[in-house]
Amino acid sequence: MAKKHRDFPADFLWGASTSAYQVEGASLEDGKGPSVQDIKVIPEGTPDFKVASDQYHHYKEDIKLMAEMGFKTYRFSISWSRLIPEGTGAVNPKGIEYYNNLIDECLKYNIQPLVTMYHFDLPAAIQAKGGWGNRDTIDAFVNFAKVMFENFGDRAKLWLTINEQNMLTLAGPIIGTFDPTGVENVIKELYQQNHYMMVAQAKAMALCHEMVPGGKIGPAPNISCVYPASCNPADITAAETFSAIRNWFYFDMATAGIYNHQVWSYLEAHDALPEIAPGDMEILASGHPDFLAFNYYSTATVAAFPEDEEYDPNAPVDQQKNGGEPGYFKPVPNKNLLKTEWGWEIDPIGFRNTLNQVYSRYRLPIIITENGLGAHDKLEEDGTIRDDYRIEYLQRHIEQMQLAIDDGVQMMGYCPWSAVDLISTHEGFDKRYGFIYVNRGNFDLKDLRRIPKKSFYWYKKVIATNGKDLENNL
């Protein structure tokens, strides 16, 4: 018998996401200081972040288009070095003004701002002092949080702490936030940084509750369920271990302030236990999220690590690219799944599985802060962008989110990546994600015109029907 679907909640937050350094441009304009993204070595063949999608100068137009799609929320991040150019000290009035305008523009259309405090763009001045490897960065982050809550907390009520903290730890060199050159014990250094971020996050969550009336805050890691390559119990151990390292560690810490026991044992074995100052564990236990946010693109599949295999101990653990960890797990391809043009496995059913796993463990409302398909979009001669492949990807994920709601998962919102085209973390403008096309190439800035893609009109219908009509019949 066909089961009747439960409705999406009436106040479900449909929207989409961006991040400051990937969308804003104006990278050194109006007093903004450089971030690590502005000083990193840019991958060959891809553009720098000076102009990006130029949302800094196009925000009114962008938000108007988001309103036309019917967005209930817009997830954007605040550039730390636009607000506080040196990371600490003087606040940039032009930075305050820009985010005030952005927030007010959202509210004009009843779009709730969902603000990421930090999305891969540490101020370069903080990096010069050791970045997240320096304990003082905790205080700098808390001060940054205070400035944001003071200035924007009267209107911005939904906050996210750190985007993909787990990827900063597992894949920092790829994102351009960690340089392993000359570091003796890479795992130790990365997990020390991670510890400081955890403490900073807990303090920011507590501060949000203190300073923002009615404010809600949560972490935003990248979460995906981990499959064992077979039903061999050794593969299952590998999957459970990798899931602890990749996923649960971050939510266990955010929700309960505890170090996941499998991660602790893994760090011990690598001589990589973090230094924990007196009082840290109390701080970690004092921050409580109101919801859990996570980014979901694909799942991971792992096998037990073959005993006779060579291994590079300095390779960071990265679900997509690394060779695994001897004694723990080895990533393997999942033959059941198709891949994107960039080799990312597509797993809509895994989305439902992941939602259920997260909800069973933590019982907090969930908002998806990223999910989407990076593709080479083409602007046709008739001025259209027919991104049916993106519609299909999103459609299949929303269908599974519906099934997760039927399962009883408490869903709060869905914000695919990305609201408008922007610069990919390391593939430039070749890899687009947006509902709104931005007319520029990697090096030819053209006119930066905004053009709704076919997915724009499809998503508008999805939102208008609160997720009931997912058909691609436009």
Active site residues: 164, 370
Residue in the structure block whose two tokens are 């691609």: 472
Residues 6 or more apart whose Cβ sits within 8 Å of residue 459 = 16, 69, 394, 435
Task: Record the tokens describing residue 455, joined without a space.
Answer: 């997915």
The answer to whether the bond into 81 is cis (omega within 30° of 0) is no
Q: How far is the CB of 425 from ligand BG6 (least distance, A)?
A: 4
Of 162, 114, 161, the closest CA to residue 15 belongs to 114
CA distance 445 to 201: 37
Spatial contact of 84 and 27, defined as CB atoms under 8 Å apart:
no
Helices 249-256 and 348-362: angle between axes, nearest 10 degrees: 30
Cβ-based nearer residue to ligand BG6, 431 or 453: 431
Instruction: Give the binding range for ligand BG6 (CB under 6 A) out of 26-34, 68-76, 264-272, 422-430.
Output: 422-430
Among the residue ranges 57-65, 206-214, 227-235, 421-429, the one whose residues contact ligand BG6 (CB under 6 A)? 421-429
User: Is residue 417 involved in binding ligand BG6 (CB under 6 A)?
Assistant: yes
Mark the segment that binds ligand BG6 (CB under 6 A) among 127-135, 349-357, 419-427, 434-442: 419-427
The owner of tokens 């046709």 is 380
Contact 164, 297 (CB under 8 A): no
Residue 342 beta carbon to ligand BG6: minimum distance, rounded to whole angstroms: 7
Q: CB nearest ligand BG6: which residue? A: 424
Q: Using the minimum distance from each CB to ligand BG6, give the nearer residue, 216 or 431.
A: 431
Closest among 278, 259, 258, 277 to 268, alpha carbons compared: 259
Of the two residues 220 and 284, which places its CB atom closer to ligand BG6 in the complex? 220
User: Is the Cβ of residue 261 or residue 426 nearer to ligand BG6 in the bound state?
Assistant: 426
Nearer to ligand BG6, 274 or 416 (CB): 416
- Number of residues binding to ligand BG6, judged by CB under 6 A: 15
For residues 85 and 434, which CB has a smaller minimum distance to ligand BG6 in the complex? 434
Nearer to ligand BG6, 164 or 252 (CB): 164
Least CB distance from residue 175 to ligand BG6, whole Å? Answer: 8
CA separation, residue 182 to residues 134, 235, 445 (Å): 17, 34, 38
Residue 53 makes contact with ligand BG6 by CB under 6 A: no
Q: Within positions 365 to 384, which residues make up the interface with ligand BG6, using CB under 6 A?
A: 370, 374
Whole-angstrom Cα distance, residue 86 to residue 414?
A: 34
Give the binding range for ligand BG6 (CB under 6 A) out of 163-171, 202-210, 233-241, 400-408.
163-171
- Residue 245 carries which DSSP code? I
User: Residues 225 to 254: which contact ligand BG6 by CB under 6 A?
Assistant: none
**Least distance CB 223 / ligand BG6 (angstroms):** 11
Q: Which of residues 4-43 bind ligand BG6 (CB under 6 A)?
A: 19, 22
Q: How far is the CB of 381 from ligand BG6 (least distance, A)?
A: 27
Residue type, 1: M
Dist CA 463 CA 72 (whole Å): 9
Q: Which stretch binds ligand BG6 (CB under 6 A): 3-11, 161-169, 191-199, 242-250?
A: 161-169
Amino acid at 261: H
Scanning 49-57, 162-170, 270-278, 299-307 for contacts with ligand BG6 by CB under 6 A, the matching segment is 162-170
Q: Assign 3-class secondary structure to 389-454.
A: HHHHHHHHHHHHHHHHHHHCCCEEEECCECCECCCECCCECCCECCCEEECCCCCCCCCCCEEECH
Q: DSSP assignment, residue 19?
A: -
Report the phi/psi class of residue 54: left, alpha or beta, with left for phi > 0 and alpha for psi in -120 to 50: left
CB of 344 to ligand BG6, least distance (A): 8
**Residue 220: phi, psi to the nearest 5?**
-140, 65
Q: Is residue 438 a contact partner of residue 389, using CB atoms and an 8 Å limit? A: no
Residue 123 DSSP SS3: strand
Site for ligand BG6 in 423-452 (CB under 6 A): 424-427, 431
For the CB of residue 433, give the shortest distance to ligand BG6 in the complex, in Å.
7
From residue 198 to residue 227, the character string flagging contacts with ligand BG6 as x (rule: CB under 6 A) and all else as - is ------------------------x-----
Query: What is the 8-class DSSP label of residue 92?
Result: -
Q: Is 163 in the site for ligand BG6 (CB under 6 A)?
A: yes
Phi-psi region at 46: left, alpha or beta (left = phi > 0; alpha = psi -120 to 50) = beta
Q: Cβ closer to ligand BG6: 137 or 424? A: 424
Q: How far is the CB of 164 from ligand BG6 (least distance, A)?
A: 5
| Rounded CA separation 2/428 (Å) | 45
Our CB check for ligand BG6 shows the closer of 207 and 368 to be 368
CB of 370 to ligand BG6, least distance (A): 6
Q: Which residues bind ligand BG6 (CB under 6 A)?
A: 19, 22, 163-164, 167, 222, 295, 370, 374, 417, 424-427, 431
